[in-house]
Structure formats: structure tokens, C-alpha cells
Amino acid sequence: MVFILGLTGGMAMGKSTVSQWLRELGVPVLDSDQVVHDLYNGGAAVAPVEAAFPGVAVNGAISRPELSKRVVSNPEALKQLEAIVHPLVTAYKVRWLRQQAAARQTLVVLDIPLLFETGAESMCDAVAVVSCPAEAQRARALARPGMTEAKLDGLLARQVPDAEKRRRADFVIDTGVALEETKQHVASMVEGLRGRQGSKYAALAAAAAASGER
């Protein structure tokens, strides 16, 4: 049975790089940010989000700037949006997992930035957290265009602290060491996981079948 590895990490920790390495090792990776992009860009989220927030759809796609105006600093609106989008994201992931299982993949990765924040670890057989020292994270983040100390602090305040993520992880991938050392760690993790039997996919597929999800 396919083994589902959840991949997460705070901003500027190096998760995108690790995700690319996993792909290069032949592991299928589903990027949750891309899933949301697809759902907003002519996908299944357009109609229900436009119905809830009239005017946010432009040329058949959700305008993120317009949507942000409606939900930023409005907890109730954000909760309403999440209630619409999260089930669609979950259904998308289950369909993708079904495709990977049909293709006889034994190891797949769900790349989820807010994995612990959204409770998505329940979908995973194991979780890998990408981490680095706080000073390295801040330096990387502040080097990004438009990033400020205040903005970074606000973003980090909405995420589960790195120490907590590390505590809850099955694997910690340290990107604060030499690049080749981190890359070898990732390769060793993949080698150890290939062939392991997962249990989460069967439960997810059964739940989807019971709800009529295709």
C-alpha cells in the first residue's frame, strides 16, 4: 500500500529545494499551493467562492487580490472561505493519491506548508519537517523582495513554532548544514521509506468512496 509522507517547514527553511530533490529521486510530490492555484484558476473553487464573495471572480478565475480584500482582518470571512476550499483541496489530494496508487507508486509526498496548522498530518503515514537555525531562516526570508522584519514576524506568528514542528516530526531535514549533507539525508530517508507499508491511503480512499467522491 502506498506510503504517504507529509513534507512541511516554516518559510525560508528550504522546503521547496527538498521537494525538488524528492522529485529528482523519482518520488511523486503534490504541491498543496499548486492545488489551491488550480482550484482558483478555473477549477472547482471558482463558483462556490464567487457565490460567497461576489465580485472576486475575474475572467473565470478567482482574483487573489480581490479575495484578500474580503478576508484579511476578517476572521469570520476567512473561516467561511476555509470551509469552502479545504474540502475541495482534500478531495483533490485523494484523487491524486488514487492515481498514484493505480500507478503502483509505493512512496508519495504531500508538500503542505501549513501541515500541522491545518491538521493535515492525519492524512500522512509520517511527517518530514524541513528546518534550519532561526538566524539562517531570518536571513533567508529578509533577503526576499518586499520582506520586512515586521512582516516576517507577523507571518511567523501564524505558524506553529519550528521547535514544535521538529518535536512532532518523524524526520527532521536540517538545511542549516552543508548542501550535500542535507541532500544525502534526504536520499537516505527516501531509501529507508521505499517499500514501507502505509495505512492512511486505505482509510482516505474508503472515506472518499463513502462520501461519493470520485
pLDDT tens for residues 41-84?
999 999 999 999 999 999 999 999 999 999 988 889 999 999 99
Mean per-residue pLDDT, 1-26 = 96
Burial environment of residue 112 by CB neighbours within 10 A (0 to 12, 13 to 18, 19 or more): buried
First to last CA, the chain: 19
**Mean pLDDT across the chain:** 93
All three cell numbers of 119: 491538521
Q: State how far the Cα of 175 lies from the Cα of 188, in Å rounded to an integer.
A: 15
pLDDT for 28 beyond 80: yes
In degrees rounded to 5, what are phi and psi of residue 188?
-65, -40
Mean per-residue pLDDT, 96-110 = 96
pTM of this prediction exceeds 0.75: yes
All three cell numbers of 193: 521509506
Q: Are strands 61-62 and 57-58 parallel, antiparallel or unpaired?
A: antiparallel
For position 213, what pLDDT does the model report?
62
Q: Which of 52, 88, 128 is nearest to 208 (CA)?
A: 88
DSSP codes of every residue in 39-100: HHSSSTTHHHHHHHSTT-EETTEE-HHHHHHHHTT-HHHHHHHHHHHHHHHHHHHHHHHHHH
Which ranges of 161-211 would DSSP assign to H, the alpha helix?
162-168, 179-193, 200-210
For position 123, what pLDDT does the model report?
94
Mean per-residue pLDDT, 29-38 = 95
pLDDT for 207 beyond 90: no
Q: State how far the Cα of 109 lies from the Cα of 16, in Å rounded to an integer.
A: 12
As a whole-number percent, the residues of the chain with pLDDT over 90 amount to 82
pLDDT for 160 beyond 80: yes
Report angle CA 4, 2, 115 to the nearest 5 degrees. 10
pLDDT classification of 214: cutoffs 50, 70, 90? low
